[in-house]
Structure 1
Amino acid sequence: MHTSRWTIGAIVAFVGLASCGPTNGDGHSDTAAAARAAHAAGDSRAMQARAVWEAQLDTLDMRLGALDSAVRTLSASSAESTGRHETRAEAQTRFAEARDSFKRVELAIEYYTPSAGRELNGPALPEVEDGEGPEVVLEPTGFQVVEEMLFDDEAQEIAPALVEETATLRVIASRAHTMLAAQAVTDDRVWDAVSLEIARIMALGVPGFDSPVAGHSLREAASALEGVAATLNVYRTDDGSWRTLDTLVRGARAALETTTSREAFDHFDFLVRHANPVAHEIRARRVALGIGLPTERRAFRLEAASLLDSAAFDVLAFAPVDATPGTPAQVQIGERLFADTRLSGDGRRACTSCHLVERGFTDGLRVNRTRAGAPLLRNTPTVLNSALQVGSFTDLRVTYLEDQITAVIENVDEMHGHLEESARVLSADTAMRRQLHEAFRGTAMANDTVVTGAQVRHALATYIRSLTTMNSPMDRALRGDTTALSAEQRAGFNVFVGKGKCATCHFLPLTNGTVPPMYQKTEVEVIGVPTAPVVAKGRIDPDEGRFRITRSAPHRFAFRTPSLRNVAITAPYMHNGVYRTLESVVDFYNRGGGAGIGIALEYQTLPPDTLGLTPKEQRELVAFLGALTDTSRVGRR
């Protein structure tokens, strides 16, 4: 395998310019005049960084060519050929080399050409173009598709398709090279790309999100670090100030090279002692050089050093573009409204009727009841940390909290009210009207005479966003207070990220399905939830999930990947509340989801194989899930 000199600059990787304010989807900022000016002026070191990237893209092209040649040789050999095993092994080696080359330039591809990044390295699953109709289903392309064909021992007669996919890889990589050459590259964005790549390594790379079959995630994370280092190397000064970062990078790489087994790897130790310090020292180098930050808003704050920082996330990045930060007065009145039955049509229900504070803002029921007493369709989810996702409801049928509030209040089976009618009723309450008037004084929603539906909705959304906190025992431990986790919980964390593969869907640190590091999309998954908590001969729950919205086959029985924060206090589980304990949920996943209990689904996205977790590992995993509890924002006045 190819090995490169381990220079400090090589330890940061690239992320998508889609994070850099309004773009056209390929990293081209709408502020075209500014981009052209920056391109013309050219930050000299940034231009050197781009030269490094272009050289790495040349290497990627060469290695893709070698992969293409090996795959064609494999395709030409017969299934009975005595040399077929060796030919397949050669193709796997060429694949691994090409992937390593991609990882070294991943930072630039993802930042400046995100559409090419998705095509080169997206999940090997069909993607539905939401809003385009049920017939618009995009088949996957890229490295992960090739990986499944090359490394899945059960794959049959895949040679022609493998040749086609490998050829497609070369075309996409060439397009990325062309697109990158047209981009304005400036110092602030180079360092932003580096920060995002470290986040990607922590949340996607090391957990194995994009190497699910070959299991090369640790080695590839080292290659991504090498790409970061090569980028930063052009900014190096000779005053000795880079020694700390050099030491941290060497330590991070050494940790990744101690084993190729994700099951044996100490993920907790790597994040705490290596990845997080690297992220903070990179910020320190940027600040020391006097390099600023881009100005746009995104979920992972530009000023944050690491995803693990206590203030790493901006909840308003998940809100409508005209949303404003809530004031303490607006939060307080939103909390009052959350418990106010006047929001319902008959004056008998409030939000707290289903979202009980003492149960982690759930109700403890498998499903609640309609106003008429019939069972509701789905389990009541918690609203804790619900602001940190793109889309609401388990089928993602609305985008923002504000829309969810309207939908629940006006749902005939839930509250059967109307925002404007509720506002009219509240206007008759002199004290309430006065408090709302004071809370919105001087804002665009101010109204001196009456309560408005917009005020009610904004206050409720502001209150729910205030129920966001990142200070669970897991958070404190990952920031360095290692005593916050017991030995069993720490072992469970490593199961969660490693053998259990939980973090490949419940992404760290949010533990929901909103994809890092850009957090622009929340995933839905088909896991095969049964109607009853059986371990064999299961029957799929008839609720078809997101399919009811999109009518696209890959979305049949698909549901939003929820946050696991506070999961220990929000039983029962799944969209239908079928499992009453975390132990039963872990057992379901350990068996391979629905496929493991006899439910055959065409589009199950959860790997159908057993995880092979021992009883001890299952107990450790459940113990870790308890370390995600944080109710510090609950019940405050």
Structure 2
Amino acid sequence: MACMSKQKETTPQQVRAYYLDQIDATDTLIKQLDTKIQNNGTSNELQVLFKSARIAYKKVEFLAEYYNPLTAKAINGAPIPSMDDNDQHKIDQPEGFQMIEPYLFPEYNHSQKQELIEQVGILKANLVRLKSMATHQELANEQIFDALRLEVFRIITLGISGFDAPIAQNSMAEGASALNSIEKVLKLYEPEFIGDKRAILVQAQSSLKKAITYLTASKDFNSFDRMHFITTYGNPISSSILDASMALGNEKFKDLRALRANAKTLFDKDAFDANYYTASYDAHSSKEKSELGKELFYDAILSGAGNRSCGSCHRPEMAFTDGKMKSDALDGSQVRRNAPTLLNAGFQPALFYDNRVSYLEDQATEVINNKDEMHGSLPIAGQKLKKNKDYVLLFKKAFPNDADPINDYHIRNALGSYIRTLSSLNSPFDKYVRGDKSQLNPEEVKGFNLYMGKGKCGTCHFTPLFNGTVPPDFKTIETEIIGVPSTPDSKKIDPDLGKYDLRKLDLYKNAFKTPTVRNIAMTAPYMHNGVFKTLEEVIDFYNEGGGVGLGMDIPNQTLPFDKLNLTQKEKKEIIAFLKKLTDNTSF
């Protein structure tokens, strides 16, 4: 009697089997942690199990984040409440590893045993949910390699900064675990790399082995050389994984993304696509739209009295700010907030300090209509523009398929298109991470390492955009409550309630968007109210732990309020690095 042989598994099926095994391994360690808590284990025992469980999860992370991001957030999301995307009156409470960590580190407090048990129970349930979804998840080669590269970017931007392990500071071991998982997956593909393709795979595997060794040998969070890791290991790994994917014949991704799917590294000159942050394909920028938008940007015709343009408060020589605490209002007083830079504004999913609009077109509308800023009218401006022969020609070129090209939306879209050209991603820092080691000196490199490590700057102002747009998918932008004072020497928080004015939720009181620190040497004064005149003042504020660290009562502060204990030398090094984020090549 003939027997049918078992059909050989495809490589994606083998990857899924590996994925399921690692979920089981994580689940087992969490159950052991639960048992040890129930049996009154020591602080050290619980910490060891917790670290082991997170290291196990890091082998799962690349696929969990790719295929099931909501569940991944529940397992390892930021430990702060957030508004429910489907119900603006409902608050989602944080769950997962990052909620458990403060119960165990720096020491376990037995009086919180019941709360800890509850959190671990939630985590166990979420791992069950992940396993259920993973069991039925169909994987594809293109997606697997895409997920691997995104995990490398996640390590570079979030992992080595301590973003998701701020207290345990086990980031190097966790990064090594994530890379080990990438190595295991690539090994499953070995039979498919035949002939000349073999060398491409070997290059990727060699880079991974060296990176894992480097991370494993690095025991101290604060002294870890992040710049060396990124330039020597991180960038080559992301590049070689892309090469390996192409060698297997995986098609290039054609979907529109903020970070182009086929960028070799995070730091490529054209790695980011501002068109991702538009409302539709029709809103995408073009050379003709941008040229028209530039003319409109500097033309006072858009203001009610014809005496102010966008460029009045966003001046190129000041990195598109105006150097004032708060810009002048039309009546001689001040507008509500400091004028932020427009450089790289096109790489943000929300705009204004309170994130109240999603698109540059809507930002333009609000500014033009605002009685304190421009007090204009788009319909009236449109009528004026139609009487100008030069503008009629420019609008026809920019919107050739429209019978009546001069209208409200096209004015806004042209302005947005121009602002999207204000890309500023070619600073000395960028050139350094692309390979030109002459661009930064040792002090500035040390400053970057402090920025990404001990200084904790990189956990809010994320590399490489250095704003609050969260990597590696760059779809959302964070707001933070840091306790900015009303005056430099005040112990009282600034009265501006920020995002709370839009969403009457306590978690948003005094919440403001995390702005970019690119070109920060040109954009003083700082903060939403312009309260600090120098970078030294800004660093001192953070070094003290923000508003709470200065003695303010801010129960919802999201900035860690423990002191950073930066030395004077370290503060100078961070500032030296920040100044190397200056890039005026686009204006």
Q: 1:53 aligns with which of 9, 19, 42?
A: 19
Q: 2:34 aligns with which of 59, 65, 68?
A: 68
Which residue number corresponds to residue 118 of structure 2? 164
Which residue number corresponds to residue 133 of structure 2? 179
Give a deviation string over 1:292-335, Cα, whole Å, max 9, x none. Answer: 24432211111112212222111111211334432222211211
Matches within 5 A, 1:154-303: 157-236=111-190, 237=193, 239=195, 240-241=198-199, 242-303=201-262
Structure 1: runs of 5+ lacking an equivalent: 1-40, 75-85
Letter in 2 for 1:52: Y
Letter in 2 for 1:628: L
Return the alpha-carbon distance in structure 1 between the equivalents of residues 233 and 59 of structure 2. 19
Identity %, equivalent residues: 39
1:486 aligns with 2:441: yes
Which residue number corresponds to residue 485 of structure 2? 530
1:627 aligns with 2:580: yes
- The alpha carbon displacement at 1:600 in A equals 1.7
Which residue number corresponds to residue 520 of structure 1? 475
Return the alpha-carbon distance in structure 2 between the equivalents of residues 540 and 179 of structure 1. 46
> 2:275–2:285: 8 Å Cα contact kept in structure 1?
no
Return the alpha-carbon distance in structure 1 between the equivalents of residues 70 and 26 of structure 2. 18
- The alpha carbon displacement at 1:452 in A equals 1.4
- The alpha carbon displacement at 1:43 in A equals 8.8
- The alpha carbon displacement at 1:238 in A equals 6.2
Matches within 5 A, 1:491-570: 491-534=446-489, 538-570=491-523
Return the alpha-carbon distance in structure 2 between the equivalents of residues 563 and 405 of structure 1. 20
1:459 aligns with 2:425: no
- The alpha carbon displacement at 1:530 in A equals 0.1
1:215/1:162 CA distance change after superposition, 3 Å: same
1:122 aligns with 2:73: no
Letter in 2 for 1:525: E
Matches within 5 A, 1:392-471: 392-442=351-401, 446-447=402-403, 451-471=406-426
1:588 aligns with 2:544: no
Return the alpha-carbon distance in structure 1 between the equivalents of residues 424 and 534 of structure 2. 24
1:319/1:42 CA distance change after superposition, 3 Å: farther
Matches within 5 A, 1:319-358: 319-358=278-317
Give a deviation string over 1:184-230, Cα, whole Å, max 9, x none. Answer: 21111111111111111111111110001111111100011111112
1:437/1:265 CA distance change after superposition, 3 Å: same
- The alpha carbon displacement at 1:130 in A equals 5.2
- The alpha carbon displacement at 1:490 in A equals 0.9
- The alpha carbon displacement at 1:234 in A equals 1.3
Return the alpha-carbon distance in structure 2 between the equivalents of residues 220 and 487 of structure 1. 27
Give a deviation string over 1:588-626, Cα, whole Å, max 9, x none. Answer: 001111112121201111110110110011001111111
- The alpha carbon displacement at 1:133 in A equals 3.5
Return the alpha-carbon distance in structure 2 between the equivalents of residues 580 and 322 of structure 1. 41
- The alpha carbon displacement at 1:629 in A equals 0.7
1:433/1:238 CA distance change after superposition, 3 Å: closer
Q: Which runs of 4+ in 1 moved over 3 A?
A: 152-156, 237-240, 322-325
> 2:283–2:413: 8 Å Cα contact kept in structure 1?
no
Could you say what the CA RMSD is over the residues aligned between the two structures, in angstroms? 1.7
1:154/1:60 CA distance change after superposition, 3 Å: closer
SS of aligned partner of 1:128: strand
Return the alpha-carbon distance in structure 1 between the equivalents of residues 503 and 437 of structure 2. 44
Return the alpha-carbon distance in structure 2 between the equivalents of residues 341 and 461 of structure 1. 17
1:155/1:353 CA distance change after superposition, 3 Å: farther
Which residue number corresponds to residue 618 of structure 1? 571
1:154/1:96 CA distance change after superposition, 3 Å: closer
Structure 2: runs of 5+ lacking an equivalent: 1-6
Letter in 1 for 2:326: V
Return the alpha-carbon distance in structure 2 between the equivalents of residues 326 and 42 of structure 1. 48
Letter in 2 for 1:334: G
- The alpha carbon displacement at 1:369 in A equals 2.1
| More relative contact order, 1 or 2 (CA 8 Å, 6+ apart) | 1
- The alpha carbon displacement at 1:127 in A equals 1.1
> 1:119–1:142: 8 Å Cα contact kept in structure 2?
yes
- The alpha carbon displacement at 1:181 in A equals 1.9
Return the alpha-carbon distance in structure 2 between the equivalents of residues 130 and 45 of structure 1. 36
Mean Cα deviation higher: 55-64 or 563-572: 55-64
1:131/1:234 CA distance change after superposition, 3 Å: closer
- The alpha carbon displacement at 1:246 in A equals 2.1
Return the alpha-carbon distance in structure 2 between the equivalents of residues 170 and 156 of structure 1. 21
- The alpha carbon displacement at 1:104 in A equals 0.6
1:89 aligns with 2:55: no
Return the alpha-carbon distance in structure 1 between the equivalents of residues 246 and 519 of structure 2. 36
Mean Cα deviation higher: 585-594 or 324-333: 324-333
Which residue number corresponds to residue 307 of structure 1? 266
Return the alpha-carbon distance in structure 1 between the equivalents of residues 244 and 50 of structure 2. 35
Q: 1:107 aligns with which of 49, 62, 66?
A: 62
- The alpha carbon displacement at 1:464 in A equals 0.0
Return the alpha-carbon distance in structure 1 between the equivalents of residues 386 and 86 of structure 2. 38
Give a deviation string over 1:525-569, Cα, whole Å, max 9, x none. Answer: 0000001112xx611000000011111111100100001111110
- The alpha carbon displacement at 1:155 in A equals 5.2
1:472/1:155 CA distance change after superposition, 3 Å: farther
> 1:42–1:185: 8 Å Cα contact kept in structure 2?
no
> 1:492–1:624: 8 Å Cα contact kept in structure 2?
yes
